[in-house]
Structure 1
Amino acid sequence: MNPYRATLQELEMFAAIAQHLSFRKAASERNITPSALSHAMRNFEERLGVRLLNRTTRKVALTEAGDRFLQRIQPALQDLAQAVDELNDWRSDPRGSLRISMPRSAEALFFQSLILPFMQRYPDITLEIDSNDTLLDIVAAGFDAGVRYGAVLAQDMVAVPFGIPMRALAVATPEFIARYGVPGTPAELLNFSCIERRFPSGRRYRWEFWQDGQKQEVAVNGSLVLDNNERILQAALAGAGIAFLHQGTVMEAIQRGDLVEILSDFTQVEEGFWLYYPSRKYLSTPLRYFIDWLKENR
């Protein structure tokens, strides 16, 4: 015959009665009627095959078995209660680790405006950023979330906007423009030296413009091909050609007069970067707080 396995609810019920030595007080604490508690306790004793309480019309007392049983279960119940309290503290005062994979361009754009302020707000969260332009399987790679450009994702992923939408701008130095002029339309870029970008897959980025409400992609030409925005910006500032970068990357250089925007009539605000994560009912506390942080700072 298999021994009876008591439930946590039954153990808590017995501990409450033993603490108060009163069915009425224990029932009030557990929000049930005294008669229901008495009936449940009697069923518990029958299933155990041991009497834990002595009852009279005036009082309740522990049997020797009940006293020994209480001494054994009380520390465990206290540990469980403390564990739940710690979990609630964790939820209200977030801590833990959060791993995010994102393109280097997203990190460069939003490190100062989003990531560092988040760390200052929640210093007990350990945030690990992997700057990688390769499109990873974040679940297989052990990341909590990823960042990518555009919101087209697998069906088992959820996406929220990451940072603010912004335009991608074609820029060049005043010296380059004085020497070579500027294209009047996106198609005329084919007559200029442009700084190209190659993705980790080997594909070269086609610059995207808008003309008469239609998207127009241009496969530009140039003698310099790079794989990250920081180097492209440095090359543009050196006068190596026309570059195509997000406004957050080039705005300071434009404001200083080091770069000049061209083809401004053919650009518009794009959907931008998105944070994506597996669709699941329960999110880790650090990820939940990071998502809320992104929504607050839109």
Structure 2
Amino acid sequence: MYEKPTFAELGAFLAAARHRNFRKAADELRIAPSTLSHFIRRLEERLETRLLHRSTRSVSLTAAGEALAGRLSPLIHDLDEALVEAANTKNSPRGVLRVLASDVVATLLMEEVVPAFLSEFPHVQLELVANSGFVDIVAEGFDAAFRLGDDVPKDMIALKFGEMSRMMVVGSPDYLRGRRLPSSPEELEGLAFVRSRPASGVPHRCEFEKGGKKISVEPAAVLTVNRSELALQAALRGLGVCYIPERLCRGHLGTGALVSLLDDWSPPYEGLCLYYPGHRLVPPALRAFINVVKRSQFA
């Protein structure tokens, strides 16, 4: 007689299918690897079908496993959404919400999103971490993170916010007055350059494109800082030009405090996404945070 699989067995299978590794899957579910192996073995016995190929070094899906994972993933996600919505009808969001963002995005979130969120949801303890490096948010315990759309891991749920953006070279009118302005990226060497070196220790290279031609340069720097906001402050004070996200300097360009250079070499790129693990329940606090972002000027 056919026995229906349990949710524990289905969850164990999906975790193993995502990670292709029993130990990582077990760590995600907070169970022992032997327990995870037992759940999957019971599922295969119920279905009378092998779902995974196992060896001492790797785990891979059989054709039946690929088909089952493809059908199960959206169903489990929809079920998680329904359970969260049901919980939200009873309880207001509370607890700790950990969000990761680059230095620039964290600064922008502080302008409107964070104050609005804390005002509306006082029982949530928001932890906003600024880190421009690539971080495994599951391993590091974050609920969500912001990243450019092209860089979001494929196994995450991604929500796109805002328009296309671009990197720009900017300087103050006082600094640029009387100086020869560059007509191509190679001519940046003629100006004092403020370089941004993130926590990874690798300086940002200046990437340009025009008419299908791509150029990457790294001008010699008179000043090196570890945050784009500091590079912006240096440019505003006339210490040189810097290469920073348009989002960060747009207001200063509007007031005339900064002037942009090489506009025709600065193409737009995919905008920001907020992303979170697709295999977890979306906590009420994260759902509330997403809604605040959607309502804000940030979006």
User: Contact 2:116–2:292 at 8 Å: present in 1 too?
Assistant: no
Q: 1:109–1:235: structure 2 CA closer, same or farther, 3 Å change rule?
A: same
Cα distance in 1 between the residues matched to 2:200 and 2:105: 18
Letter in 2 for 1:238: R
Cα distance in 2 between the residues matched to 1:86 and 1:160: 22
The 3-state SS of whatever aligns with 2:182 is coil
User: Contact 1:150–1:274 at 8 Å: present in 2 too?
Assistant: yes
Q: 1:276–1:188: structure 2 CA closer, same or farther, 3 Å change rule?
A: same
Q: Which runs of 5+ in 2 are unaligned?
A: 1-85
Cα distance in 2 between the residues matched to 1:281 and 1:202: 33
The 3-state SS of whatever aligns with 1:89 is coil
Shift of 1:110: 3.0
Cα distance in 2 between the residues matched to 1:152 and 1:203: 18
Instruction: Out of 121-130 and 180-189, give the one that drifted further.
Output: 121-130
User: Contact 2:145–2:276 at 8 Å: present in 1 too?
Assistant: yes
Partner of 1:239: 238
The 3-state SS of whatever aligns with 2:275 is strand
1:89 is aligned to 2:90: yes
Shift of 1:89: 1.3
Q: Deviations over 1:102-144 (max 9, x none)?
A: 1111111232133323333434433211122333222222211
Q: 1:182–1:102: structure 2 CA closer, same or farther, 3 Å change rule?
A: same
Letter in 1 for 2:164: P
Shift of 1:281: 5.0
TM-score, normalised by the number of residues in structure 1: 0.63
Q: Which runs of 5+ in 1 are unaligned?
A: 1-84
1:227 is aligned to 2:226: yes
Cα distance in 2 between the residues matched to 1:275 and 1:86: 23
Letter in 2 for 1:244: Y
Shift of 1:87: 6.0
Shift of 1:284: 0.8
Cα distance in 2 between the residues matched to 1:111 and 1:241: 27
The 3-state SS of whatever aligns with 1:151 is helix
Partner of 1:212: 211
Letter in 2 for 1:225: T
Partner of 1:99: 98
Shift of 1:197: 1.3
Shift of 1:161: 2.3
Shift of 1:146: 1.8
1:131 is aligned to 2:130: yes
Percent identity of equivalent pairs: 32
TM-score, normalised by the number of residues in structure 2: 0.63
Letter in 1 for 2:90: D
Shift of 1:185: 1.5
Larger Rg: 1
Cα distance in 1 between the residues matched to 2:269 and 2:293: 18
Cα distance in 1 between the residues matched to 2:163 and 2:114: 13
Instruction: Out of 287-296 and 122-131, give the one that drifted further.
Output: 287-296
Partner of 1:198: 197
Q: 1:87–1:255: structure 2 CA closer, same or farther, 3 Å change rule?
A: closer
Cα distance in 2 between the residues matched to 1:132 and 1:279: 22
Cα distance in 2 between the residues matched to 1:247 and 1:170: 9
Shift of 1:162: 4.2
Q: Deviations over 1:64-92 (max 9, x none)?
A: xxxxxxxxxxxxxxxxxxxxx976312xx
Partner of 1:110: 109
Cα distance in 2 between the residues matched to 1:253 and 1:115: 22
CA RMSD of aligned residues (A): 2.6
Letter in 2 for 1:89: K
1:251 is aligned to 2:250: yes
The count of corresponding residues between Structure 1 and Structure 2 is: 213
Cα distance in 2 between the residues matched to 1:216 and 1:120: 46
Shift of 1:152: 2.3
1:283 is aligned to 2:286: no
Letter in 2 for 1:113: E
Cα distance in 2 between the residues matched to 1:186 and 1:250: 19
Shift of 1:288: 2.1
Letter in 2 for 1:261: S
Q: 1:267–1:113: structure 2 CA closer, same or farther, 3 Å change rule?
A: farther
Cα distance in 1 between the residues matched to 2:101 and 2:194: 23
Shift of 1:163: 4.4
Shift of 1:97: 2.6
